[in-house]
Chains A and B, each alone.
Chain A
Amino acid sequence: MNILGQVFLVLALIGSGFGLVIGLFSAIANRPRLVRASVLATRAVFFFVAAAGMALLYSLVTHDYSNQYVAGYTNNSMPLFYLITSYWGGEKGALMTWVTVLYALLYFLAGRKARENAFWGYTLGIANITGLFFFVIMLTVSNPFEIFVTFPGPADGAGINPLLMNPFMVIHPPFQLAGFVAYTIPFAMAAAAILTKERFGHWEQFGRRWMIFAWWSLSMGLLLGCLWSYMELGWGGFWGWDPVENAALLPWLIGTALLHLVFVDRGRGVFRRFSYFLVFLTYGMTIFATFLTRSQLIDSLHSFSMSLMTPYFLYFMLFVAIFSLILMVAGWRFLKPRHHISSLLSRETFVLAGVLVFLLLGFVVLWGTMLPKLTQSPSIRGMMNSLGSSWANVIGKPYFPLTSAMHVGPKWFNRIAAPFAFLILILAAIGPALRMGFKPVKSTIRRAAWSAGLALVFAVAISIATIFFIASLSGQSISVVFKMADAKQFWGFGVLIAGLWVLNFAIADLVITSLYIKKNMKISFFMAMKRLIRGNTRRYSAHFAHSIIAILAIGFFAGSIGAARNKIVLEPGRFVEVANNIFGFAGLSSRFSASESFATLTSHIVVMPKNRTVDPSTLNIPNIKVQQVDEGPYLLIPDGRTKPAIWARLYAGSVAMQDLKPENIDRARHRVILTAKDPKALEVIPDIYRRWVRGLQAWAGDMGRHELTVQPGTTRPIITLTFQHSDVFNAFLSGLKPPENVFWVGVWKDRDLIIMVKGPGKVLTPEMRYYTFFDQPTSEVSIDLGLLYNVYVASSGAKGADLAGLTILVTPLANFIFLGNFLLLLLILLYWPHKIISEPVHGKTLKGEEVTA
């Protein structure tokens, strides 16, 4: 199978080479009929790639460890689903995925759209350059079908970090890669347009569908990555400004700028040179992103293997840069704009401003990401030092000169990104309301001003309400929760207002204009609104799209206000208060999952709002008095220590006993022999036996020797409990049956018993997972999703000790990211049918020939 795959890759290389050469030749030598040959060659490559891909899948699914890639990224215990998705798991798989998607797209493009003319000859030829590049890499330094030479391969593969075996993580790379790949097509088309100097079939209108798709796919990929980070990584954040994340953000930023220019241009040619430049830049960024992600040029949390691809990528990027530069120069006159911006207060100007902001933001990301590498050069350091010290002199602060590399982290990025987000939202709110090209009419200005004003009032009101809400959440005064002097809070608030303004403006624009139409045309409000939307689809779809971005921005930035976090180590029974909630730790339990091959240490955290108390009647045990406690998920049993039977019964049902089961009951001697409920868990985490023993010995100590003795096993992990009195013994046994809702029992002030119950709260169960095939434990977060905020706990437990290291977070407005992602998914449905299965666009070449595209 590996050999077969290898063969197909070689054939693909040959095919793409052919496609490239024939395509270019047909255009240069003016042999339009040969474009068909290039089409065929390109389609052939698709078949070869598909065949190779199937061969790779086969090796993955059948655990063929003679294949180095399979051995490096899968293992025997991996479920089928993740075996399949390992296709794009490692570097070689990512390359395969690149060409798979590229040629799937090209198959569609070449087969259905390509016509016999120079434009398509060039397009297919140039598109095949990218394919060829990837095939060369795969056949030289990074071959997915490379087999072990000196030995037949290991018996089991290395597997992947279990954090990556998660649905979000798994669909994130295809979306991301598809986004990168799809920009190849507009690139090829733009190059072809310049080379043929034909305003042929308004390719921009056609190519823009690819840009929409690419942008959408890239956005989805990025957002899915954010959601994965939140759900799985245990730090409660969405974006870490990690070099790999930033690498993928770069094409998105430039791509967004490109998309806007193209949308607002509408084929009139107002921004031609700029658009073409951005097409080339976006494509270059996708190659750069692919390179940066995989080459480990910069240290990153996403770690990949040492890559030999680096020199190839560097040369290719250089080639792309030079090629693009030559094209821009050659096409400069051809790309002369035919229309100009006529008014400053037009949509075009605002879009242009937005484009500049995005480009600058792109520079920010690029600069911050490359800084560690750049500052390795003494000349760059020298420049930074002179700039830094002069500026420091101006503002009167000390400056320490750089002597070696410097890394900027999330602090700097967040500080800079927030004002950008604010500015973008402001532009995005106003932009769609303005007219294209011309200065707005007075009545329009008046109406727009009303919309803007009303929207602003609402936005500010809601923002203030939100701050109050968040403050009440954490039980602190406003001034503590939100300090204007703190830059992060200040900008978070700013983004909140700006984002809400976008949303409200969109609604106001719709409602107020509809009212105006209703009045003037004397039709119903609903009819007016329908008419308005139908007549101005672009405007309202822009409002909608911008609203999604506003929702996301609010989730990203405003969530920093009032977010509370606490990192603490707790013993069982203890609690901590975070953001007006009480978090009580009830203890650890363990179990083994056979289907996913891990043993887990689960922390049981009982969460309750601070101002609630537990109703004593929820505990249903006859003959005992139960008292309320001031705060927390606790109940008190006065003089409980004098009632060992009750104590034993409660203890038997608590978390402390969850791992153990009675193997042998000796009623005559009041003796119980306990073993592990889940022996496999014990195998993976042998330390937990010590924890059980210590816990039980502590309990025995509290109860008093005359009540209970604990005897650890010497040969097998068994523990023998011997009770002195039959009633205590029987109570214990009865408690081992289904739980009383008591999570933990402890001694209070020497005589009383205090118990932790669920009460009106929730139980969160963060885990530490020990996978059998992975030598580091991974943390599984437990999230309580609420409407406006989430409660989030991650644990880092110590195996042998009965402690939990908890990271507790309250993340306001985090769900906006989920909502935004979902809406973005729908957005493509709004734009996609809009002439995507297109009627051919007719046009005339400069020579006057009728052609279609």
Chain B
Amino acid sequence: MIFTFLYSVGIVALGVTGLYELMTAIAMLVEDGEHE
């Protein structure tokens, strides 16, 4: 049970990290657009 929980946490963590990186990338694009 605990294993399943930890595993799910792991998946979510990966997903969140990915989202964070993607968001940062988009933010960079937006920022760049503004500065032009």
Binding site for B on A (CB under 8 A): 4, 8, 11, 14-15, 18, 22, 31, 33-34, 36-38, 40-41, 43-48, 50-51, 54-55, 58
Contact A41 B22 (CB under 8 A): yes
Contact A41 B32 (CB under 8 A): no
Contact B22 A51 (CB under 8 A): no
Which 7 pairs of residues, A with B, have the shortest CB-CB distance? Answer: A47-B18, A44-B21, A40-B25, A44-B22, A51-B14, A37-B28, A37-B25
B10, B15, B24 interface centre (most CB from chain A within 10 Å): B15
Contact B18 A55 (CB under 8 A): no
B21 contacts which chain A residues (CB < 8 A)? 40-41, 43-44, 47
* Alpha-carbon gap, A50 to B10, bound state (A): 10
B10 contacts which chain A residues (CB < 8 A)? 54
* Alpha-carbon gap, A4 to B14, bound state (A): 12
**In chain B, residues 4-24, which have Cβ atoms closer than 8 Å to a Cβ of chain A?**
7, 10-12, 14-15, 17-22, 24
**Given A14-B22, A51-B18, 4 new contacts (CB under 8 A):** A34-B28, A36-B28, A44-B17, A51-B11
Smallest CB–CB gap between A445 and chain B, Å?
59
Known: A11-B22, A41-B21, A43-B21. A54 touches B29 (CB 8 A): no
A46 contacts which chain B residues (CB < 8 A)? 18
Known: A51-B11, A54-B10, A55-B11. A44 touches B32 (CB 8 A): no
* Alpha-carbon gap, A47 to B14, bound state (A): 5
Partner of A38, one of B14, B17, B18, B25: B25
Known: A37-B29, A47-B15, A47-B17. A18 touches B22 (CB 8 A): yes
Known: A40-B25, A58-B7. A8 touches B15 (CB 8 A): yes
A45 contacts which chain B residues (CB < 8 A)? 18
Smallest CB–CB gap between B2 and chain A, Å?
15
A38 contacts which chain B residues (CB < 8 A)? 25
B24 contacts which chain A residues (CB < 8 A)? 37, 40
Nearest B residue to A11 by beta-carbon distance? B18
A44 contacts which chain B residues (CB < 8 A)? 17-22, 25
Main secondary structure of the interface of A (DSSP, over half): helix
* Alpha-carbon gap, A41 to B32, bound state (A): 15
Q: Mind listing 17 A-B residue pairs with CB under 8 Å? A: A8-B18, A11-B15, A11-B18, A11-B19, A14-B22, A18-B25, A40-B22, A40-B28, A41-B21, A44-B19, A44-B25, A47-B15, A47-B17, A48-B14, A51-B14, A51-B18, A54-B11
Smallest CB–CB gap between B33 and chain A, Å?
10
* Alpha-carbon gap, A34 to B26, bound state (A): 10
* Alpha-carbon gap, A230 to B24, bound state (A): 52
Count of B residues near A, CB < 8 Å? 18
* Alpha-carbon gap, A606 to B20, bound state (A): 66
Smallest CB–CB gap between A637 and chain B, Å?
63
Partner of B14, one of A18, A40, A41, A50: A50
A4, A14, A40, A43 interface centre (most CB from chain B within 10 Å): A40
B29 contacts which chain A residues (CB < 8 A)? 22, 34, 37
A43 contacts which chain B residues (CB < 8 A)? 18, 21
Nearest B residue to A19 by beta-carbon distance? B25
A15 contacts which chain B residues (CB < 8 A)? 18, 22
* Alpha-carbon gap, A266 to B7, bound state (A): 47
Nearest B residue to A61 by beta-carbon distance? B7
Known: A33-B32, A34-B32, A58-B7. A22 touches B25 (CB 8 A): yes
A33 contacts which chain B residues (CB < 8 A)? 28, 32
A47 contacts which chain B residues (CB < 8 A)? 14-15, 17-18, 21
Nearest B residue to A39 by beta-carbon distance? B25
Smallest CB–CB gap between B8 and chain A, Å?
8
Nearest B residue to A7 by beta-carbon distance? B15
A50 contacts which chain B residues (CB < 8 A)? 14
Nearest A residue to B29 by beta-carbon distance? A37
* Alpha-carbon gap, A4 to B9, bound state (A): 13
Contact A4 B11 (CB under 8 A): yes
Nearest B residue to A50 by beta-carbon distance? B14
Known: A18-B26, A40-B24, A40-B25. A54 touches B14 (CB 8 A): yes
* Alpha-carbon gap, A44 to B17, bound state (A): 7
A40 contacts which chain B residues (CB < 8 A)? 21-22, 24-25, 28
Nearest A residue to B28 by beta-carbon distance? A37
B11 contacts which chain A residues (CB < 8 A)? 4, 51, 54-55, 58
* Alpha-carbon gap, A676 to B36, bound state (A): 85
* Alpha-carbon gap, A45 to B25, bound state (A): 12
* Alpha-carbon gap, A34 to B30, bound state (A): 10
Nearest A residue to B36 by beta-carbon distance? A31
B12, B25, B28 interface centre (most CB from chain A within 10 Å): B25
Smallest CB–CB gap between A14 and chain B, Å?
7
B15 contacts which chain A residues (CB < 8 A)? 4, 8, 11, 47-48, 51
Nearest B residue to A15 by beta-carbon distance? B22
* Alpha-carbon gap, A178 to B22, bound state (A): 25
* Alpha-carbon gap, A472 to B29, bound state (A): 76
B18 contacts which chain A residues (CB < 8 A)? 8, 11, 15, 43-48, 51
Smallest CB–CB gap between B15 and chain A, Å?
4
* Alpha-carbon gap, A44 to B24, bound state (A): 10
B14 contacts which chain A residues (CB < 8 A)? 47-48, 50-51, 54
Contact A41 B19 (CB under 8 A): no
Smallest CB–CB gap between A116 and chain B, Å?
11
* Alpha-carbon gap, A50 to B7, bound state (A): 12
* Alpha-carbon gap, A41 to B11, bound state (A): 18
B32 contacts which chain A residues (CB < 8 A)? 31, 33-34, 37
* Alpha-carbon gap, A15 to B11, bound state (A): 17
* Alpha-carbon gap, A41 to B22, bound state (A): 5
* Alpha-carbon gap, A22 to B28, bound state (A): 10
A18, A47, A58 interface centre (most CB from chain B within 10 Å): A47
Smallest CB–CB gap between B36 and chain A, Å?
9
B19 contacts which chain A residues (CB < 8 A)? 11, 44
A48 contacts which chain B residues (CB < 8 A)? 14-15, 18
B20 contacts which chain A residues (CB < 8 A)? 44
A4, A44, A58 interface centre (most CB from chain B within 10 Å): A44
* Alpha-carbon gap, A36 to B31, bound state (A): 13
* Alpha-carbon gap, A41 to B21, bound state (A): 6
